Amino acid sequence: MRQVNVGIVGLGNIGTGTMTILAENADQIALKLGFPLKVTAVCDLLIDSKKIPEALGPVVRTANWREVTSDPNVDIVVELVGGTTVASEIIHAAIDNGKSVVTANKELMAACGPEIWDRAINAGVNVAMEASVCGGIPIHAVLREGISGDRIEAVYGILNGTSNFILTEVEKHGTALETVLAEAQRLGYAEADPSADVDGLDARSKLAILSALAFGAKITPSDIYVEGIRRITPTDFDYARQLGHTIRLLCAARQTPEGLILSVRPALIPLKTILAGVRGSYNAVWVKGHYGEDTFYYGRGAGPRPTGVAVVSDLMRVAREIRNGSPQRVSPFAHARLNEYKPVPVTIQRRAYYLRFRVKDRPGILATLAGILAQKKISLEAVLQQPYDDKSDLPFVITVEPASEQAIREAVEEMSKLDFLTQAPLALPMEPLL
């Protein structure tokens, strides 16, 4: 049976991992498919410095991606460049030339997925993007096919391995976040500019994709409320532990009577919940269904080999569909049927809150803070203060009973103006995850 030919554009970590799997696992892939999956062209701006596995055999090498997207011998183009500019051009050119596309580009697919799918549908080709979220966890397939018969009520996730590595290292060793971030950069977990990871932007793109799959709504990253992890300290983990909680960068999408509420932000989650045990660079997704109830998916969220597995698995699915004459068998988005999503602000929800203060110690501080909370109709639950030698920068915590998030924000804004504070209060929701 005729082989299906693949062209890979972008030979960074993921591209190299993908090539390695295709070379080393070629026999098993062919056995599972019933025909060979052959890399016939590769592209990278630094192509002369790239080592191509000998097991792939003769391969066209080029620094010009247009030679891959226009190559009549290429059936599927793999876009592993990243970003939203050149990557968009590559995908559009491939589709216009009648080629299906496999991509790991969460930023582009989160922002322009429906547009790309319109183009693919009109061209009669497929687009697959399993590797764009959660690395080696096949969460797209789960939401698109595995539990598509359910009505999803909520999706919770730890979707950024870098942030999770940083937080769990701060938790384990009591080391300042800035120090752990530097170590993550040294190990290659974090980029030189870590903003996309530590400020929650990478996770936001991933949640946009998962939410579109789970809820059938056209969602863009700008619809999602986002906060990063830069202000989390070892002290916060100490207090969280006293409260029976830990802290994670939690991605949450909830269906409520008011509508869909989306957020990416650090939150206190109970130690007894399964997400609390997700550590290091691992990712996890917890799906709450109406009929099937709870399902949980866990695995490596990044890395050349786990992500490469997702890319190769997409290649196998698309190749099979090409050979069977059904390139649009299952669309990632069911795009034509997606509903328009009207953002519902997170401020409408009610949550218990963790409020951490750093103050110049003096009488009357607690009374002043309690008075502001009372004005906003927020009830105190507990006050926690560990022994601390430096009375000029004293940390303590107030937890409050469930209250309007809007009221919490108003209270924090007013508290931030008080002259005894050494920094603005840190407010973290305490997620019940029920």
Query: For 271, phi and psi rounded to 5 degrees?
Result: -60, -25
- The rounded distance, in Å, linking the Cα atoms of 236 and 232 is 6
Give me the residues paired with residue 4 across strands. 37
Q: What are the helix and strand counts (H, E) for the chain?
A: 14, 18
- The rounded distance, in Å, linking the Cα atoms of 22 and 16 is 10
For residue 394, the SS3 value is strand
Half-sphere exposure of 214 (CA within 13 A, CB side): 25
Q: Which amino acid is at 123?
A: A
Angle between helix axes 177-187 and 161-173 (nearest 10 degrees) is 130
Annotation says 376 is catalytic? no
For residue 66, give the nearest of 38, 89, 40, 83 by alpha carbon.
89
Using alpha carbons, list the distances in angstroms from residue 52 to 20, 59, 87, 214, 378. Answer: 9, 8, 22, 38, 62
Query: Which pair of tokens denotes residue 135?
Result: 């690395």
Query: Which pair of tokens denotes residue 242?
Result: 């006293």
For residue 159, the SS3 value is coil
Pairing of strands 225-226, 259-270: parallel
Classify each residue of 108-138 as buried b or exposed e, where b means 16 or more C-beta atoms within 10 Å of its C-beta: bbbbbbbebbebbbebebbbbbbbbbbbbbb
Catalytic residue among 206, 218, 342, 417: 206
Query: For 234, phi and psi rounded to 5 degrees?
Result: -55, -35
- The rounded distance, in Å, linking the Cα atoms of 24 and 203 is 32
Query: Which pair of tokens denotes residue 264?
Result: 């990416």
Instruction: Compute the Cα dihedral for 108, 40, 97, 117 and give only its sign.
Output: negative
Segment (H or E) for 96:
helix 86-96
Describe the strand order of the beta sheet including 76-79 as a list of residue ranges: 60-62, 37-43, 4-9, 76-79, 100-103, 127-128
Query: Which pair of tokens denotes residue 127?
Result: 């687009």
* Active-site residue set: 206
